[in-house]
Structure formats: C-alpha cells, structure tokens
Amino acid sequence: MKEAGKEHVVEKEGLQGNVGKQGGKLLKGAAVLGGAAVLSKLLGTLQKIPLQNVAGDTAFGIYNAVYPLYILILFAATAGFPVAVSKFVAERVIHGDHRGAKRIVRVSAAVLLSTGVALFLLLYAGAGEIARLIGISQTESAIRSVSFALLLSPLLAVLRGYFQGYQNMLPTAVSQVIEQLIRVITMVALLLYMAALAYDEEWIAAGATFGSVTGAAAGLLVMGMYWRKAMKGEREQRAQGASDQSALASTELTSWQWAKRITAYAIPVCLGAIVVPLLTLVDTFTMPRLLEAAQGSEGEAMRQFGLYNRGLPLIQLVVMIASSMSAVLVPAMAEAKARGQVEVIRFRAEMAVRLSWLIGLGASFGLAFAAMPINVMLYKSDEASWTMAVLAFTALFSTLNAVSASVLQGAGAISTPAKALLVAIVLKALGNVVFMPRWGIDGAALSAVIAYAAAAGLNLVQLRRCTGARFALRPYAVSPALGVGLLGGCLAALQLLAMPAVAAWHVPERLSASAIALVCVVGGAAVYGLALLRSGSISREELRLMPELDRKLAPVLAKLWPAKTAAGPRERS
C-alpha cells in the first residue's frame, strides 16, 4: 500500500511538472507571438508616412482605399484557419499521430489554396468593377497589384497553424516580422523608383500595395524553411526507431470530412475577424463618392481622402501601445472566473478600463492640441490639421473598445464586441452620409468618433453587467480634468513661446515643427502623468502592479512628494 501510494504521489508530481512545463512553454510562446505582433504592427503603421511624403496625398488616398479591401478579403478567407489547424493538429499530437497532423495540413492547404485562387481571380478580373463601386477609377491598378498576395497568404496561414498546434510560436513570430519588413522595403523601394521615373499616382499606389505580395512570399519562404527542418527532424526520429503511436486521423475521417470539419470550425472565427476591417472599409465605399460629388473631381476626391487618412497611423499606434495590456487580460480574467473570484474579476476589469481611459484621454487631447506641428513634421504641410485633431479622439474610444473587448472575452461574453462593432459600422456609414456633404472630411472624422464611442459604450454596459465593475464620476472625469487642463495649457504655451524663437532664428518650417512636436509629446506626457499621480487618479499601489514603470518613477515621486502615500484597492485571492 505504501509503495502504491508512493507511486501515485510520484505520478501526480510528474503530471504537475508536465503541466507546469506546458504552461511555461505556452506563456513563453504567447510572449514571443505578442512581441512579434507589436513589432509587425508598428512597421505596418509607420510605413504609410514615407508613402505620403514621397508620392503625395492622392497616392496616399488610393492606397488607403484599396488596402482595407484586401485585408477584409484576406481575413474572410484565412483568419480562422490558423486557429482551426492548430486545434486539430494539437489533438493529433496528443495521440502521437504526427502523420495525421500532416494530413490536416494537406487538407487545409487544398481548401485554402482553392479559396485563394478563386478570390485572386475575383479581384484581378473584377478590379474595374470594384473600382467603379468605390467610385474612383484610379484604384483599379492597385486592386490588381494586391490580388497576387491571395495566391500566397492561404498556405502561409496553414503552416502557421501547424506549428502553433505544436505550441511552437517562433516560426509564426519570425515569419510575421520578416513578412512586414519585406513588405515595407518593397514599398519604399518601388516608391522611390517609380517617383524618380515620374509615374502617376495610380501606378505608385499599385507599387505600394505590391509590397503585400513580396511580404507574403518572404513569410512563406520562412515558414517553408521551418517546415523543411521539422520534416528532417521527423525523418531522423523514424530512422532511430520512433514511429507514430496512432493512426486515428488516417482511419476515422476522409479528406472531405476533414475539410468540412476544419472549415466549419474556422468560419465563425473568420466572421468575427472581419468586423474590424469592415469598419475601415465603410470609408472606402462611401468617402470617395461623397468627396467627388462635393469636389467635382476624382483626383481632388482622392487627395482629400489622403488628407483624412493622415491621422490614422498615429491613432493606430496609440491604440496598439495602450491595448498591449489586452494580451494578459484575457487569460487573467478567465483564470479569475474559473476560480470564482468575483472581487478579483471586478477589480481587474475596473483597473483595465480606467488605465485605458486615462491613457486614451491623454493621447487624444495631446494629439489634438499638437495636431499642427505633428502634421507638418510627418506630412510636410499643415493641411487637414483640424481633421487630425477631431480624429484624435477616436484614439480614446478605440483604446477603450479594444481593452473592454479583451475583458469581455476573458469574462465569457465573446459575441458582445462583434455586435458593438456592427453597430459602429452602421453609425459610421450614416454619419458619413449625413455629415460629409456639410463638413467634408471633418464630418467623416466626427462620424468616426461617434461610431467608436458607441462601440466602446456598448462594451462597457455589458462589461458592467458581466463583472459588476463600477465607473464612478471622480476617477474618470473630475481628477483627469486637472491633467487634461494642464496638458492643454502646457502644449499651448510651448507652441506660443516657440513661434517667436523660430521666426527669429529662421529655422526651416519642417525642422522647427519637428522640434516643437517632439517637445510637446515629451513635455505633455510628463505633465499629464504627474498630474494624474498627484490628483490620485493613479495610486502608488496600483503603480506597483506595473513593477518596471514603478521602479523608474519611484525616485521621482519620492523627491516630489516625500510624505504622500496612496492606498489603492487590493486584489483578493
């Protein structure tokens, strides 16, 4: 009996050790994948700035009209398949059925390649008709250019899913970064080449979108190298006597049945993934037509559309940085829910929303107050600075939307964020139709703010029901008002004081604007952050939950307010 009990304890400890190792591997993989996603998004966001600088606002407008269409079609065709493939591959791996895992790859590749070829033909042959629906004939070449990526991206998605099924996130991470890097290099190289040869805006935009093709090819090449290495390792294991322990995948289902099963699992994920690109695509199919009707010229309509899109890369950057906390929110909320820790769920939900609100609020007001120097620094002129200032407030509501969606997913309310974004899509389309005839691109910016605010509001209402979170007036409005007021005063003073110095020293406009913009960003962020800490909007105890930030700020806070202590809410375990 003692021996049996001892064996049981050893077996249990071994199982716990395996679970711990798997959990550590999963967390490490998630961190690698998250870091790669941030880096690739950063590259993708900032690549638009050289396009506008070299080619101008018309080419910039054409690119921004076509690229969301490509992303929508790509997401609709492939977004759910890495998840589906990774799920079914993981199931085969558990049974030791590596041959069955490879069969899933072959079946998924056949399904997606067929879909990719069909969509390529649709885009390439139908480019003229799609351009007519957009209302701008200049988009036709760019649509044809980007269509070739649909021949490569499906297989890339399948291979990423295969390695994720083995909990090996490194191939996906490396391929994502390489894909985005080659895409940016191609875009910039073709941009400089075509601009030097005086190509028109239509062909320059087509060259920019072709970066998606070379990027997909580079990503596929990287995944192919990892695949070849994995197959070589398998062959070596078989040569040493190892073999599949199961052939369930080969005997249970036919290839057709596997195809139906994988597709059925992937489709709901795809439908959820296309909601965000749909919101962006609303502008593609409404703004050019409305602008052309108002301006009377297709070229001027695309130039105005390019001006409107100037602020979007900065907003996407703010949202990406602020919502990086989303990566840890879903598992943290799910863990607390599984343990029945109601107070922990409520506290984490409240803190996540409050931090995203404070970050988004500061970023929105900062970008709005400094819109003119930032516009000149990045895009060479101050055209549409007011549009950029209005659009800046979508950073606040987009950040709230992204973070609240992650909290809801962790709490189990998976469908709410998609429904909220569908409401936003309708509001954005109606807003463009109502506001743009009167205010042009300023009206489009206003409709964007309303749409994202509605989506965030719906998420927060559901979040309150699911988690019991409370959003009191003081920490969300009264206290941050001091920070926003000081931020606005600081930025206004910096710009007013800088103007006479710039005029006296005869500094070139773009150089002076760059200096003013950078000083505004650094000075504004410092003033706003210290005001939040001073007013109690963020307590020292809450700051300690972010050890790296607390370590850097602690000496500064000790000198400024040595006697000040703050007590924040504690998580209850």
pLDDT band at 144 (very low <50, low <70, confident <90, very high): very high
Backbone angles phi and psi of 357, in degrees to 5? -65, -45
pLDDT of residue 439: 94
Q: What is the mean pLDDT of residues 454-468?
A: 90
Which strand (E) or helix (H) includes residue 433?
A: helix 416-439
Residue 538 neighbours by CB distance under 10 Å? 21
| Amino acid sitting at position 530 | L
Q: What is the mean pLDDT of residues 372-397?
A: 93
Q: Which of 442, 450, 351 is nearest to 393 (CA)?
A: 450
Residue with the bigger pLDDT between 151 and 566: it is 151
Token pair 């409401």: residue: 423
Q: What is the mean pLDDT of residues 96-107?
A: 86
Sequence-distant (6+) residues with CB within 8 A of 175 are 156, 160, 219, 220, 222, 223, 226
DSSP string spanning 143-168?
A: HHHHHGGGGTHHHHHHHHHHHHHTT-
Q: What is the mean pLDDT of residues 239-249?
A: 53
Q: Is the pLDDT of residue 145 over 90?
A: yes
pLDDT of residue 21: 46
| Euclidean distance between CA atoms 93 and 174, whole angstroms | 23
User: What's the CA dihedral at 404, 408, 414, 419 to 10 degrees?
Assistant: -40
DSSP string spanning 310-351?
A: GGHHHHHHHHHHHGGGHHHHHHHHHHHHHTT-HHHHHHHHHH
Q: What is the mean pLDDT of residues 46-67?
A: 89
pLDDT in tens, 148-207: 999 999 999 999 989 888 878 888 888 888 998 999 999 999 999 999 998 999 999 999
pLDDT band at 90 (very low <50, low <70, confident <90, very high): confident
Three-state SS for 4-71 is HHHHHHHHHHHHHHHHHHHHHHHHHHHHHHHHHHHHHHHHHHHCHHHHHHHHCHHHHHHHHHHHHHHH
Three-state SS for 469-525 is CCCCHHHHHHHHHHHHHHHHHHHHHHHHHHHHHHHHHCCCHHHHHHHHHHHHHHHHH
pLDDT in tens, 388-437: 999 999 999 998 988 888 788 777 777 888 889 899 999 999 999 999 99
pLDDT band at 24 (very low <50, low <70, confident <90, very high): very low
pLDDT band at 328 (very low <50, low <70, confident <90, very high): low
pLDDT band at 298 (very low <50, low <70, confident <90, very high): confident
60-96 exposure pattern, b = at least 16 Cβ within 10 A, e = fewer: bbbbbbbbbbbbbbbbbbbbbbbbbbbbbbebbeeeb
| Amino acid sitting at position 134 | I
First-to-final CA distance of the chain: 37
All structural domains of the chain with their residue ranges: 24-233+257-273, 472-560
pLDDT of residue 347: 80
pLDDT of residue 164: 83
- pTM score over 0.75: yes
